[in-house]
Amino acid sequence: MDDQNELPASPTQSAPTLARRLALYFTISIAGLIADLWTKWYMFAELGLPYESTGVDWWVIDEFFGFQTAVNQGALFGIGQGGSSLFALFSVIAFVAILVWFVRGEAWKSLFLTICLGFITGGVLGNFYDRMGWWHGDQIHPDYAYGVRDFILFTYKDYVWPNFNIADCLLVCGALLLIIYSFRYEDKKKAADTDDERETDAQADVTAET
């Protein structure tokens, strides 16, 4: 059984290669990065920094879904405010670890993993760009320096979900896909182990009969 859960290539379809899967992986990552950076640039150009406006500037669905700029100098849900440098370092470590897993760990053999890791890398790079401060100039308020730009807002009555961006969406989607993959992999591994045990028992029975 293939460890990476790939179906065998058909006679008319060439087997996947590292070069092709790397191309797909980087295509997904770069597309995600571009989508994240462009939407951040557009929303902040339209709505400005948080201090330049009050309230929600752009409702798509009143009192539920809209766009409002925010700058997060921490991690998910605002945890670790002021730790942009540390989180930027984590981003580098995560990127290197993903590449090692993809190439040396042969994750590239799985199309599903290739897509998952492409999503996650695009999200990591998008937020890394912001944490390096490359989106703003030298003249920036300390509350926004080296922070991640967020603009997507969901609210329900008095509850307000923390603002997020496309990079966060990519990270969450990639993580959920990895969870799904882990369950699929475990199920198939258990099935394979069961088949091996049955085959071993059958061979033992044949040996005993002879």
Q: Is 205 a known active-site residue?
A: no
What is the side-by-side order of every strand in the sheet holding 159-164? 58-61, 65-72, 148-156, 159-164
Q: Which residues of 117-155 are buried (b: 16+ CB within 10 A; e: fewer)?
A: bbbbbbbbbbbbbbbebebbeeeeeeebebbbbbbbbeb
Catalytic residue among 150, 193, 196, 205: 150
Catalytic residue among 143, 158, 168, 195: 168
AA letter at 68:
Q
From CA 160, how far away is CA 153, in angstroms rounded? 8
How far are the Cα atoms of 97, 104, 149, 181 from residue 101, in angstroms, in the given order? 6, 6, 29, 15
Sign of the dihedral through C-alpha 38, 79, 144, 50: positive
Q: Is 168 a known active-site residue?
A: yes
Active site amino acids: 150, 168
